[in-house]
Amino acid sequence: MSEVIATYRLFDQKGAFEKKAEGIALGLTIGSWTDLPLLEQKQLKHHKGRVLAVRETGRETAYGWEADIDIAYPAANFSADLPAILVTVFGKLSLDGAVQLMNLSFSDELARQFPGPKFGVEGIREKTGAYSRPLLMSIFKGVIGRDLAYMEEQLQAQIAGGIDIVKDDEILFDNPLTPFEERVKLGKRVIEESGKKALYAVNLSGRTSELKEKARKGIELGATAFLFNVFAYGLDVLQELAEDPEVNVPIMAHPAVSGAFTSAPHHGFSTELMLGKLVRMAGADFTLFPSPYGSVALERSAALKTAQMALEQSSFKQTFPVPSAGIHPGLVPVLFEDFGTDSIINAGGGVHGHPNGAAGGGRAFRQAVNAVISGQELTEAAKNNEDLRLALELWGTGK
């Protein structure tokens, strides 16, 4: 049967969870807060949510005892799009105090309605020519209020330092000093002049109704990737872009705003569901999320589960996990240990803040990656690699 199974985390008194689960299964489908005497048996059979499991975890929290419950919702209740699915499984329930939506499992028939990434990990490796190592990504920094000449200098330095992908800062929107189309042209020219296979993810921003046209125009002018603030727009907008055959460049999902839905310990969506599973289904080729040890830290288990959901075996191509924020070369060994080769090391301050500028920052990261691959300690590698030495001196090693 085509259905979606929702896993919730509930908080209540011990032994109260079966009744609560039944209340949710009925309340989010054909029931109400009071008995509806005219419910038909046929309706109940075809449309009521089914409680599949109730697992008390044995943990006591500030909101009471904890339990995870699974409820299956028949696909007959909703249209095959994420807005309808999210409202079905978590609509009014999300407003009802301490409750978390931890995961969603889609039947194959339902999953087939979603695009997944167009390029995924393999496609991005082909585009950048970078195999058997994590990719390196950096972020334009301090660009607001600066002109194209400043961006050009930054882009040249980042690419010269060996960065594979450069992205706009998520807070850089269309503006008179560095308009979208001019940034795209600049990116294309600088990358071509470098002779490298780097990508530049320009921030696709503006009104929702203008995005597709803007994306097409960007591609016509040479855009190689788009950065997209998916949680300010909604997952369905990402899906619309990913499904458009003319939007034939990778899309990078930025986590800005997602914390408003995911960060509370007993409320909202799990991080891994939003930033791992759903952005992948909706078509993101990359997913950025806070690393467990940077400046905007995410709990380690949530960061690891996010990467796992982005990469795990499924009918969709793999989405590249990009643990980010506060990353510097001294963190490369722990990034490797936690996220492995199929991940992207992403840094803004950790590239541009290097004493030898962004080129030095890029080189320091590459030296750190090479050291880890060859089984060398960073402090040992730093003896023969000046940029790495300077980075470690400035930011230290490890978490």
Residues in touch with ligand 1AE (CB under 6 A): 139, 169-170, 255, 288, 290, 295-296, 324-327, 347-350
Q: Least distance from C-beta 190 to ligand 1AE, angstroms?
A: 20
Q: Least distance from C-beta 122 to ligand 1AE, angstroms?
A: 24
Minimum CB distance to ligand 1AE smaller for 44 or for 171? 171
Q: Least distance from C-beta 298 to ligand 1AE, angstroms?
A: 9
Q: Least distance from C-beta 146 to ligand 1AE, angstroms?
A: 16
Q: Least distance from C-beta 157 to ligand 1AE, angstroms?
A: 15
Q: Least distance from C-beta 170 to ligand 1AE, angstroms?
A: 5
Minimum CB distance to ligand 1AE smaller for 135 or for 139? 139
Q: Catalytic site residue 197? A: no
Cα 257 versus chain centre, distance: 12
What 3 state SS string does the chain have?
A: CCEEEEEEEEEECCCCHHHHHHHHHHHCCCCCCCCCCCCCHHHHHHHCCEEEEEEEEEEEECCEEEEEEEEEEEHHHCCCCHHHHHHHHHCHHHHCCCEEEEEEEECHHHHCCCCCCCCHHHHHHHHHCCCCCCEEEEECCCCCCCCHHHHHHHHHHHHHCCCCEEECCCCCCCCCCCCHHHHHHHHHHHHHHHCCCCEEEEECCCCHHHHHHHHHHHHHHCCCEEEECHHHHCHHHHHHHHHCCCCCCCEEECCCCCHHHHCCCCEEECHHHHHHHHHHHHCCCEEEEECCCCCCCCCHHHHHHHHHHHHCCCCCCCCEEEEECCCCHHHHHHHHHHHCCCCEEEECHHHHCCCCHHHHHHHHHHHHHHHHHCCCCHHHHCCCCHHHHHHHHHHCCCC
Minimum CB distance to ligand 1AE smaller for 325 or for 382? 325
Minimum CB distance to ligand 1AE smaller for 88 or for 271? 271
Minimum CB distance to ligand 1AE smaller for 166 or for 381? 166
Minimum CB distance to ligand 1AE smaller for 122 or for 169? 169
Single out the catalytic residue among 92, 141, 185, 197.
92
Which residues form the catalytic set? 92
